[in-house]
Amino acid sequence: MPLIHPALIHPALIHPALVTSAPLQPPVPLISSMRPSSSVSPLVPERFLADETRRLSLPDLRELVTGLAAAEYAWRPLVRHDPRQRWYLRLFLSGVVEVWLIGWYPGQQTEIHDHGGALGALAVAEGIVDEDECGPDWVVTRTRRHPAGSHPGFGADHVHRVVNRGPGAATTIHAYSPPELPLRYRPADDRRPGHSVSATPPAVAQSQALTAGAGV
Ligand SMILES: [Fe+2]
Question: Tell me, what's the pLDDT at 215?
Answer: 53
Sign of CA dihedral 118, 29, 126, 108: negative
Q: Could you tell me if residue 171 is inside a domain?
A: yes
Q: Distance, CA 113 to ligand 1 centroid (Å)? A: 6
Residue 122 alpha carbon to ligand 1 centre in Å? 9
The amino acid that residue 32 corresponds to is: S
Tell me what pLDDT residue 10 has.
77
Q: Residue 157 falls within a domain, yes or no? A: yes
Residue 175 CA to chain centroid, in angstroms? 6
Tallying the residues shown for the chain, one arrives at: 216
Per DSSP, 37 falls in state -
Distance, in Å, from the CA atom of 77 to the CA atom of 22, rounded to the nearest integer, reads: 15
20-31: pLDDT as tens digits: 444 434 334 445
Residue with the bigger pLDDT between 11 and 58: it is 58
Sign for the CA dihedral angle at 51, 52, 53, 59 comes to: negative
Rounded to the nearest angstrom, the distance between the alpha carbon of 108 and the centre of ligand 1 is 14
Q: How far is the CA of 120 from the centre of ligand 1 (A)?
A: 8
Question: How many Å lie between the centroid of ligand 1 and the Cα of residue 2?
Answer: 22
In a domain, 19, yes or no: no
Nearest to 127 by CA among 161, 173, 84: 173
149 CA to centre of ligand 1 in angstroms: 18
**Nearest to 156, CA basis, from 181, 187, 190, 173:** 181
Ligand 1 centre from 130 Cα, in Å? 12
Give me ligand 1 centre to Cα 196, in Å: 18
- For residue 108, being part of any structural domain is answered with yes
Are 14 and 77 within 8 A, CB to CB? yes
Rounded to the nearest whole angstrom, what is the distance from the C-alpha of residue 114 to the centroid of ligand 1? 6
CATH of the domain at 202: 2.60.120.10
Q: What sign does the CA torsion over 87, 95, 162, 185 have?
A: positive
Q: What are 108-146's pLDDT values in tens digits?
A: 999 999 999 999 999 999 999 999 999 999 999 999 999
Give tens-digit pLDDT for 46-97.
999 999 989 999 999 999 999 999 999 999 999 999 999 999 999 999 999 9
Q: What is the mean pLDDT of the chain?
A: 82
Give the distance (Å) from ligand 1 centre to CA of residue 121.
9
Distance 215 CA to ligand 1 centre (A): 6
Residue 191 forms part of a structural domain: no
Residue 7 vs residues 12, 129, 204: alpha-carbon distances, Å: 8, 25, 31
**Alpha helix positions (H), 28-154:** 58-70, 72-75
Question: If pLDDT is split at 50, 70 and 90, which confidence band does 9 have?
Answer: confident
In the chain, how many domains are there?
1
Question: In which band, very low, low, confident or very high, does the pLDDT at 200 lie, cut at 50, 70 and 90?
Answer: very low
Assigned domain for 74 exists: yes
Q: Which of 7, 166, 184 is nearest to 81 (CA)?
A: 166
In a domain, 18, yes or no: no
The range of the structural domain enclosing residue 109 comes to 3-9+29-179+197-208
Number of H helices, E strands in the chain: 4, 12
Spatial separation of the C-alpha atoms in residues 51 and 10, rounded to whole Å = 21
Could you tell me if residue 21 is inside a domain? Answer: no
